[in-house]
Amino acid sequence: MATRIISTGSYVPEQIITNDDLAKVVDTSDEWITQRTGIKQRHISLGENTSELAVNTAKQLLERAGVAADKVELIIVASVTADYGTPSIACMVQKEIGASNAVAFDVVAACSGFMFALSIADKYISAGIYNNAIVIGAETLSKILDWSQRSTCVLFGDGAGGAYVEKSETDGIIEEELGSKGELYEILTEGYTRCSNVFNDIEEGTDSLWYVNMDGREVFKFATKSVVKSVERVIAKSCVSPQEIKYVIPHQANIRIVEIISNKLKIPYEKFYVNIEKYGNTSSASIPIALNELNEKGLIERGDKILLTGFGGGMTWGTMLISW
């Protein structure tokens, strides 16, 4: 038994911020951002919160799959920018789409979040506990960016993407791997909440930890190393050769990272689906937004072998080989 993607969807806020727009607020340039990252623009929310992006994606998934909301059994949303500490985004999605019979919860695995969420859904479905699931990655990273920090604010964007999956007797997820390296957690953090109350002093010097803080070079090294090894292990465990893979959908963080991964894996760059120029890094939403774009363009056919691979804060990574 396998878990198969039945429909894909995505939603991004309307407002586009170009590199030139950013150059008006921080000391940067279109040339620097394009050369170092491949990003040309990103979508930024002017008020819609993460749950609203996720709800729009969920509605699209159900419409495209032709499934009624009350038939959905599981909703998992991956995010590091939830509207609330509680409720989960998934519970808010459940209410808004009317999926009254579903179990709903969120997972936190940063930019690998969609891979973790899809893997969890697959486990429930493979175990025969649920028959289907909505899996979404959704982020409004703009609310956790320090817009005066050129080293981080140029990299990220807002958006959501997802998949509706069902139990399948034939095609579906073939092989996968998730990984975590907690000892490196400090190289990429955001959203620190202080432990302060009337009985102790406010923790000093932690205000900036609310925002994305990153050692870019260390993250770069981690990404190129962990993704390559993970992809090699997943391919080795499967009966699929690298030549049989039609598309690789990498996490869209930096075009140079994708080029290095392609070189090291000896998988031609043309097989990598890249849309970072339009969206920037949308964290957990990046892989499903790219997958949906590929699908909407009609570039995937039944039985095609597609490899999804991502890395992110934690540090974490996740790779999945799918027979479409």
> Would you tell me which residues interact with ligand COA (CB under 6 A)?
28, 32-33, 36-37, 111, 150-151, 154, 188, 214, 216-217, 219-220, 223, 253-254, 281, 312
Question: Nearest distance from residue 221's CB to ligand COA, in Å?
Answer: 9
CB of residue 226 to ligand COA, shortest distance in Å = 11
Instruction: Provide, rounded to whole angstroms, the least separation between the CB of residue 116 and ligand COA.
Output: 14
Token pair for 227: 């993704």
Q: CA-CA distance, 248 to 274, in Å (whole number)?
A: 9
Mapping DSSP to helix (H, G, I), strand (E, B) and coil, where does residue 247 land? strand
Of the pair 53, 219, the CB lying nearest ligand COA is at: 219
CB of 288 to ligand COA, least distance (A): 15
Cα end-to-end distance, the chain, whole Å: 14
**Catalytic site residue 295?**
no
Give the DSSP H/E element, type plus range, for residue 265.
helix 255-265
Give the angle 311-312-313 at the CA atoms, nearest 5°. Answer: 155
Shortest CB 262 distance to ligand COA, Å: 16
Q: Decide: 313 and 162 in contact? Cβ < 8 Å.
A: no
Partners of 129 in the β-ladder: none
Task: Rank residues 94 and 262 by Cβ distance to ligand COA and give the closer one.
Answer: 262
The CB-of-153 to ligand COA minimum distance in angstroms stands at: 8
How buried is residue 128: exposed, middle or buried, by Cβ count under 10 Å (0-12/13-18/19+)?
A: exposed
Point out the catalytic residue in the list 153, 251, 292, 295: 251
- Residue 226 vs 295, nearer CB to ligand COA: 226
| Residue nearest ligand COA, CB atom distance | 216
Taking the least distance from each CB to ligand COA, the nearer of 36 and 59 is 36
Q: How far is the CB of 283 from ligand COA (least distance, A)?
A: 7
Say how many residues make up the chain.
Answer: 324
How far, in Å, CA of 97 to CA of 178, rounded? Answer: 30
Nearest residue (CB) to ligand COA, 148 versus 170:
148
Catalytic residue among 19, 56, 281, 292: 281
Nearest-angstrom CA–CA distance, 311 and 50: 21
Bridge partners (DSSP) listed for residue 153: none
User: How many other β-carbons are positioned within 10 Å of the β-carbon of residue 204?
Assistant: 8
111 is catalytic: yes
Single out the catalytic residue among 111, 132, 153, 292.
111
At residue 108's C-alpha, the angle toward residues 55 and 310, to 5°, is: 95
Closer of 37 and 292 to ligand COA (Cβ): 37
Give CA–CA dist 152/65, Å, rounded: 37
Question: In sequence order, which residues have a C-beta less than 8 Å from that of residue 315 and are 6 or more positions away?
Answer: 180, 181, 182, 184, 185, 187, 188, 219, 222, 226
Of 76 and 219, which has the nearer Cβ to ligand COA?
219
Q: Answer yes or no: 251 catalytic.
A: yes
H-helix or E-strand spanning residue 166 = strand 159-168
Q: Which residues are catalytic?
A: 111, 251, 281
